[in-house]
Amino acid sequence: MPSSFSLDPRTAILIATLMMLLNGGVLGLMHKELAEDVRQSALSWRIGTLLQAGACVLLAVQNSLPLAFVLPLANAFLLLGLLANLRAVCLFCGKNLPLLFLLPVVLAVIAVYWFTAHSPNLSMRIVVVSLAMAILLFASARYLQIFSSHEPSVSRSVLAVIFSLVGLFMLFRALYFLFSPAQGQTMLDSVSWLNALTPLVVAILPVIGTTAYLLMCSNRIRRQWELAASTDYLTGLANRRTVSSAGERAFHSAQRQAQPLSVAVIDVDHFKGVNDRYGHDSGDLALKHIAGMLEKAGRKNDLLGRHGGEEFVVLFDQADREKSLAAAERLRAGVQENVLEVDGKSIPLTVSIGLATYQESDRSFNDLLRRADQALYAAKKNGRNRVEIAEPDLSAGSAEI
């Protein structure tokens, strides 16, 4: 029994147009709610969605206008829309859109004009445009894939899959019409099931793809808040809360698995004098300089954080007394050997370091940190710019300096 419902290309195009416009509107309403660093990307994505919707409108009314005018214009809108999507992906990944990707757009539009005005051929128009679309779609998927390898995200992976699937469909469409020439003058005249399906497949990107894109932006905002909550605003190091949490975890691990754990408390020598003599701006520069030197001189798996003011804390990963003492000495020397230059002035900086290694009498991370603080006091008392280590006192669980 024949079906009473048949989806012709014009109806499919109009449905796709409506979905694109709705999603473009939603993205426009949410634009001001997005983080500043993704707004340019989001604007480019929105422009791409609206350009694709405009292309669908032109394709739906193409039989009412001169084909040599409307078809090149409609396909230019369509390809420029995908190019805007690619630019949005590049901007989101912190890259600029390579101008090379303009080439398939320009060549495809020229080919559409040629195969409309001079040598009418529906199949060749479909093949050329489908191949140009596939290039842009695969490029977008590739950029997302590269970026996801550095910062994994489900939403980015989903969007990359959408770009890839639509790109594969376009590649299949190009091959299909290359070997099975289409009948008719335009898509609307063609009775091919593939032409009726194409607008709906193309609409997947601005509809489902926009949802994935918004989730991607939302994840970026969430990660930024998490980073802000866990890092020090001035130095970019872990903040006090992060160090304390990591220290508690490391302490309990050392208790359970009898692993070595050492903590260093680092204080900048004569920091008040730096502020008084060179100004508070120079003091901030000094803290950032020291943070950089400590990072440079530190071991790969150690956690370095700012504990507040001019004080830093280091959790030495899997380091016993000897290893942590050697590591702390490298940190001290790394700061001393690198003089800070500010406005042509040399500002010599040194640090004093108090070190403590986990012992069984420690009941919490705070006990270990307290002993390191006591060792720091000894380093200050004994002349500064030195490392002092807290000696274990098994009977009282305190340090003997």
Domains of the chain: 9-230 (1.20.1070), 240-389 (3.30.70.270)
Q: Give the residue-averaged pLDDT of 84-102.
A: 92
Lowest-confidence range among 72-81, 90-99, 391-400?
391-400
pLDDT band at 329 (very low <50, low <70, confident <90, very high): very high
User: What per-residue confidence (pLDDT) applies to 190?
Assistant: 57
User: What per-residue confidence (pLDDT) applies to 397?
Assistant: 42
User: What per-residue confidence (pLDDT) applies to 347?
Assistant: 85
Q: Give the residue-averaged pLDDT of 21-37.
A: 62
Long-range contacts of 316-321 (CB under 8 A, 24+ apart): 316/261, 316/262, 316/263, 316/264, 317/250, 318/259, 318/260, 319/260, 319/261, 319/262, 320/260, 320/262, 320/357, 321/260, 321/262, 321/357, 321/389
Q: Residues 356, 390: contact at Cβ < 8 Å?
A: yes
d(CA 297, CA 302): 11
Rounded to two decimals, the pTM is 0.65
pLDDT digits (tens, 9 = 90+) for 216-272: 877 777 776 666 677 888 888 888 888 888 889 888 888 887 788 899 999 999 888
Q: Residue 130 is encoded by which pair of tokens? A: 């489908």
- Non-local (6+) Cβ contacts of 315 within 8 A are 243, 246, 247, 250, 261, 262, 263, 302, 303
Long-range contacts of 362-366 (CB under 8 A, 24+ apart): 362/251, 362/397, 363/397, 364/248, 364/251, 365/244, 365/247, 365/248, 365/250, 365/251, 365/263
What is the chain's percent helix, strand, coil content, to nearest 5?
65, 10, 25
pLDDT band at 111 (very low <50, low <70, confident <90, very high): very high
- The helix or strand, by DSSP H or E, that contains position 391, with its residue range, turns out to be none
Q: Determine whether 191 is exposed, middle or buried from the number of CB atoms within 10 Å of its CB (0-12, 13-18, 19+).
A: exposed
User: What per-residue confidence (pLDDT) applies to 400?
Assistant: 37
Q: Is residue 351 classed as helix, strand or coil in its secondary structure?
A: strand
Lowest-confidence range among 40-54, 204-218, 307-321?
204-218
The yes-or-no verdict on residue 28 having pLDDT over 70 is no
